[in-house]
Amino acid sequence: MKAVVIGAGLAGSEAAYYLARKGVEVLLYEMKPKRFSPAHESENFCELVCSNSLKSDDVFGNASGLLKEEMRRLGSLVLEAADSCKVPAGGALAVDREKFSAFVTAKLRAENNIKIVAEEIGELPEEGIVATGPLTDGKLYEAIRSRFGGGLHFYDASAPIVSRESVDISKTFTADRYGRGEGDYINCPMTKEQYEIFVAELVSAEKAVLHDFEKGEIFEGCMPVEVMASRGKDTLRYGTFKPVGLFDGAGARAYAVLQLRKENAEGSSLGLVGCQTNLKFGEQKRVFSLIPALKNAEFERYGVMHRNTYLESPEILDEDFSVKENPMLFFAGQITGVEGYIESAASGLLAAIHYLRKLKELPPVRLGDTCVSGALSQYIARKNKDFAPMNANYGILRELGERDKKIRKQKYAERALEEIGRFICGIGG
């Protein structure tokens, strides 16, 4: 058996690896290093662009954590890489970006059943998995638009990274919110006056100009910090900069707090948590340097904003991620309308599982909406006039008749893992 996978991002890497491990000869097309998108710079596969955090790893308390456990049980390469390259981040699963990408790349290159072709594809195949990501452009984008009547798009943003040695540690304290974790975050406190000056400058700072053809909505889950601040001076204090649950060594709580998180295992690079931005580079340095601990911060990477394209999937795709008019052609990743690193990887894994069954001419085995994987699969295929990108969340799961929030999350997880177990048995382990 042979298969084509286009794109070696999170979804494409997951799909190619699964198929190869099941004995399929995979042609994996990736345009890097011949060409890079505006948001990518590494030659390695599975490059993380916006953040090094894969969100919560709490299986029984968070839908994102539950999705990760579902994927681990399905044999996810991305989760294997993440667990091997993680950096301290409290209750979240965060990774060393470079080691993470290198891990996935090495796995794919070492797999005998995968042939990697460094080539940009300009036409849609009649069969295979298209996982070219939300930055798909050029001839392939035109081919997709021509065949399916266009696509939708929204703006996404990434946060700046600073060097640890340039941070004034004397003006910080180390703590995790509510004591969860082992002091994985460096916290930069602000007084009321410092915070209000920062917000005023943040809102009035000059933004980068986006190209005229890039018009779309800003995704709420990755909202630029300056947009959030413009909604009211206290918006950040109740969100990204909230001081609740964070206390310094003397037990005091600041008026507002910016958190810094390790970007690599050594902790030499620190990301500004929740500070995705579209400010001009010079303005980023000026405004964020108003935070006392970052007065002399050296920026290793500035935040950027980019267009993310996604399909009108309910009109185009089935819940197994195949095209309704061509069941042997699949799409995977954020281009399908799932939003987030892990969600993207999950769609690649699921697309590969379903594609393999079709290659073997086996009957379909579907996931129900009692697990996060299945609920996301159904979401992208369900008729929806207001279709928009979707993260893992409890709201897409079939409801439970349980009022107690903690017990309800526990039951969601137990039910989901039972469903995954049934699915694994159905696909033959």
The DSSP secondary structure of 206-253, one letter per residue, reads PBPPPPTT---EEPGGG--HHHHHTT-TTTGGGTTT--TT---TTS--
Six-digit token pair at 266?
């050594």
| Interior/surface letters 58-67, b for 16+ CB within 10 angstroms, e for the rest | bbebbbbbbb
End-to-end CA distance of the chain: 19
Dump strand ranges (E) for 321-404. Answer: 322-323, 326-331
Sequence-ordered list of residues with C-beta below 8 angstroms from that of 429, at least 6 positions apart, any chain: none
Q: Is the peptide bond before 292 cis (omega within 30 degrees of 0)?
A: no
Do residues 352 and 19 lie in contact, with contact meaning Cβ atoms separated by under 8 Å?
Answer: yes
Give the separation between CA 237 and CA 376, rounded to whole angstroms: 31
**pLDDT tens string for the chain (429 positions)?**
999 999 999 999 999 999 999 999 999 999 877 666 665 566 789 998 778 889 999 999 999 999 999 999 999 999 999 999 999 888 889 999 899 999 999 999 999 999 999 998 989 999 999 999 888 888 998 998 889 876 677 777 788 999 899 999 999 999 888 877 777 899 999 999 999 999 999 999 999 876 533 445 555 556 889 999 999 999 999 999 999 989 887 788 899 999 999 988 888 889 999 999 989 999 999 999 999 999 999 998 888 887 778 899 999 999 999 999 999 999 999 999 898 899 999 999 999 999 999 999 999 999 999 999 999 999 999 998 778 788 899 989 998 888 888 899 999 999 999 999 999 999 987
Amino acid making up residue 367: L
Rg (CA), the chain: 22
Q: pTM value?
A: 0.78
Question: How big, in percent rounded to 5, are the helix, strand and coil portions of the chain?
Answer: 40, 20, 45
Give the separation between CA 260 and CA 155, rounded to whole angstroms: 24
- 3-state secondary structure (DSSP) of residue 51: coil
Give the separation between CA 150 and CA 312, rounded to whole angstroms: 8
> 322-323 and 114-118 as β-strands: parallel, antiparallel, unpaired?
unpaired
Q: Which residues pair with 162 in a beta bridge?
A: 270, 299
Centre a 10 Å sphere on the Cβ of residue 27 and count the other Cβ atoms it contains: 17
Give the separation between CA 305 and CA 215, rounded to whole angstroms: 12
Give the separation between CA 267 and CA 287, rounded to whole angstroms: 23
Q: In what order do the strands lie in the sheet with 161-163?
A: 173-174, 185-190, 256-262, 269-272, 161-163, 299-301
